[in-house]
């Protein structure tokens, strides 16, 4: 019998879906190199943190973790920092946390095996810090997906938009798309393995440009959704500037394309949008919302909002609240502005106190809670198709998700026994701000 691999690693991921998926690729790559994944820091030889630096709080998390486990260095363990904090802080991480030996940004993951060999050979500090200019995507056939039913595929990496507040263009490098053929062949492989839901990922998915010139973004969406075996395709995140009507048309004509669009607005004020360098006006944003609302299918709309951007007046914040009334979002991720290194917004004055940002965020969230309750009410008595995602033993309920990306908890007759990853129909019988409740339809 082959013996178990002796080298072990532990990996903790912070941040967005791109990071979660990068980690799946890193895990696959390490396993291919003969490493075995373990569940605790104590059991691991190699400890990796895949980090996020979108806001200061996220960045601080990794330094807290590193401080917590500092003493384990004495046991000969190797610590590595991956992801956005690695790219942003670079070699400064070695000063702040001297027990770290590996610092690697996302554009350098393809070099990880070589970097680990160097560490194995006794090198105490190794870095992989590609600058913004890399043209390469991290494509690997060794992705270790953690869910057997739905999985991510990266279609575009990096960002060239340079919004005034955002660190991403500095941490994830320049925008680069994969060929639509390679995306489709990954989708087919996943379908062969039994996946039925695919989520296409990118910082700005709809800025996608096929390097081979074969398919536009909306054509790629339709092509992935038509792969035999694939029943649901999602995509995130869309940038309003590049959001074309053809995306709505694709959703209308291809039923397996989920009827949900995440379209971050960031602010409802024309002046703030300009200061944020978002490349669209409030009016242009609302025009895109009108396209989505005019669709034949009922498309759910979610967004991201930043409150307390430097100089945001009370009246400008009120414009964001007014926009929420116009759009009636199905979900909002609200954030307090956090100053980030390298970003142009650092130069802006008129800093808003944290207590005021907290107040604005609370006002926004309370308003959204009411809107969401209303939005969810409209599903009452509707029969929705859900993918079964889990089981809540305490409540004796199943957890389903609708095509619109809403959580629909449901009960089923004892002999029904829904299967995880299966699809079935549920009648919505009650609604709450963050979920629906229902009963399986037999
Ligand atoms: N401060 C607060 N929120 C931010 N985001 C990006 N950068 C910042 C920042 N500096 C938010 C935006 C983006 C989401 C992923 O994170 O709303 O859409
Ligand atoms: Fe950041 Fe703007 Fe790029 Fe989104 S589009 S990743 S907010 S710079």
Which domains does the chain possess? 7-128 (3.40.50.12160), 150-377 (3.80.30.20), 383-440 (2.40.50.140)
Ligand 2: residues within 6 Å at CB?
159, 161-163, 166, 168-169, 203-204, 239
* pLDDT score at 388: 97
* pLDDT score at 175: 95
Q: Please tell me the distance from the alpha carbon of residue 313 to that of residue 320, in angstroms, as a whole number.
A: 11
* Closest residue to atom 17 of ligand 1, CA basis: 304
Taking the centre of ligand 2 as the mean of its atom positions, its distance from the CA of residue 196, in whole angstroms, is: 29
| 317 neighbors 361 (Cβ within 8 angstroms) | no
| Per-block mean pLDDT, blocks of 10 residues, the chain (442 long) | 75 96 95 95 96 95 92 86 96 94 93 92 91 74 89 95 96 94 96 97 96 98 98 98 98 98 98 98 98 98 98 98 98 97 92 96 98 96 97 94 98 91 97 97 88
Burial (CB count within 10 angstroms: exposed 0-12, middle 13-18, buried 19+), residue 315: exposed
Q: CA nearest 91: which of 125, 141, 52, 47?
A: 125
With 0.85 as the threshold, say if the pTM is over it: yes
Q: CA nearest 7: which of 77, 82, 102, 112?
A: 77
The string of pLDDT tens digits covering residues 118-134 is 998 989 899 999 777 77
For residue 205, the 8-state DSSP code is: G
Closest ligand relative to 163 C-alpha: 2
Taking the centre of ligand 2 as the mean of its atom positions, its distance from the CA of residue 204, in whole angstroms, is: 8
Counting ligand 2 atoms within 8 A of each CB, the residue from 204, 207, 274 with the most, and so the one to mutate, is 204
Q: What is the DSSP code string of 96-137?
A: H-TTEEEEE-GGGGGGHHHHHHHHHTT-S-EEE---TT----
* pLDDT score at 49: 97
* pLDDT score at 5: 65
Q: Please tell me the distance from the alpha carbon of residue 310 to that of residue 294, in angstroms, as a whole number.
A: 35
* pLDDT score at 139: 76
Q: Please tell me the distance from the alpha carbon of residue 239 to that of residue 376, in angstroms, as a whole number.
A: 25
Taking the centre of ligand 1 as the mean of its atom positions, its distance from the CA of residue 54, in whole angstroms, is: 6
Q: Which residues pair with 244 in a beta bridge?
A: none
Closest ligand relative to 343 C-alpha: 1
The string of pLDDT tens digits covering residues 30-60 is 999 999 999 999 999 999 999 999 999 999 9
Closest ligand relative to 170 C-alpha: 2
């Amino acid at each position: 019998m082959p013996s178990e691999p002796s080298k072990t690693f532990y990996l903790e991921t912070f941040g967005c879906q791109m990071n979660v998926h990068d980690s799946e690729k890193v895990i696959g790559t390490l396993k291919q190199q003969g490493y075995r994944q373990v569940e605790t820091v104590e059991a691991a030889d190699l400890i990796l943190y895949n980090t996020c630096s979108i806001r200061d709080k996220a960045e601080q998390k990794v330094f807290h973790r590193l401080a917590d486990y500092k003493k384990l260095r004495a046991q000969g363990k190797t610590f590595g920092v991956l992801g956005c904090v690695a790219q942003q802080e670079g070699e400064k991480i070695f000063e702040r946390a001297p027990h770290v030996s590996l610092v690697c940004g996302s554009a350098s993951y393809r070099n990880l095996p070589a970097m680990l060999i160097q560490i194995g050979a006794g090198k105490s500090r190794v870095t992989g810090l590609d600058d913004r200019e890399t043209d390469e995507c991290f494509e690997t056939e060794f992705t270790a997906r953690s869910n057997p039913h739905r999985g991510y595929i990266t279609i575009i990496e990096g960002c060239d938009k340079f919004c005034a507040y955002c660190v991403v263009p500095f941490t994830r490098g320049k925008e680069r798309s994969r060929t639509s053929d390679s995306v489709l062949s990954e989708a087919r492989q996943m379908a062969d393995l039994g996946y039925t839901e695919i989520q296409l990922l990118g910082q700005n998915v709809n800025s996608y440009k096929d390097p081979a010139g074969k398919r536009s973004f909306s054509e790629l969406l339709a092509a992935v959704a038509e792969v035999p075996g694939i029943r649901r395709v999602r995509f995130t995140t869309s940038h309003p500037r590049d959001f074309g009507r053809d995306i709505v048309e694709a959703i209308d004509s291809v039923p397996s394309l989920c009827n949900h669009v995440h379209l971050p607005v960031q602010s409802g004020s024309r002046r703030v949008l300009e200061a944020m360098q978002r490349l669209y006006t409030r009016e242009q944003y609302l025009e895109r919302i009108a396209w989505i609302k005019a669709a034949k299918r009922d498309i759910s709309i979610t967004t991201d909002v930043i409150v307390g951007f430097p100089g945001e007046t009370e009246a400008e914040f009120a414009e964001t609240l007014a926009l929420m009334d116009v759009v009636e979002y199905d979900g909002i991720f609200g954030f307090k502005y956090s100053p980030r290194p390298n970003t142009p917004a650092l130069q802006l004055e008129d800093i808003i106190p944290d207590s005021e940002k907290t107040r604005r965020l609370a006002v926004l969230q309370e308003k959204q809670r009411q809107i969401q309750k209303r939005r969810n009410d409209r599903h009452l008595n509707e029969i929705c198709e859900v993918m079964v995602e889990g089981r809540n033993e305490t409540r004796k309920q199943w957890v389903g998700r609708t095509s619109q990306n809403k959580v629909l908890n449901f009960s089923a007759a004892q002999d029904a026994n829904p299967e995880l990853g299966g699809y079935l129909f549920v009648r919505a019988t009650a609604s709450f701000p963050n979920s629906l409740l229902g009963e399986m339809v037999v």
